[in-house]
Amino acid sequence: MAQNPFTVGQAVSPERFVGRESQIEIAFDQISSRGNLAVWGGPGIGKTSFLELLTSPDVWHLQGQDPEAAVIVLLNCLSIQPFNADSFW
Question: 24-56 pLDDT, tens per residue?
Answer: 888 888 888 888 888 888 888 888 888 888 888
Q: What is the pLDDT of residue 41?
A: 84
CA distance 22 to 47: 15
Q: What is the pLDDT of residue 7?
A: 66
Confidence category of residue 61, pLDDT binned at 50, 70, 90: very high
Of the listed ranges 5-9, 39-43, 44-48, 77-81, the least confidently predicted one is: 5-9
For the chain, domain boundaries: 18-88
Q: What is the pLDDT of residue 6?
A: 66
CA distance 25 to 38: 14
What does residue 15 show for φ and ψ, rounded to 5 degrees? -70, -25
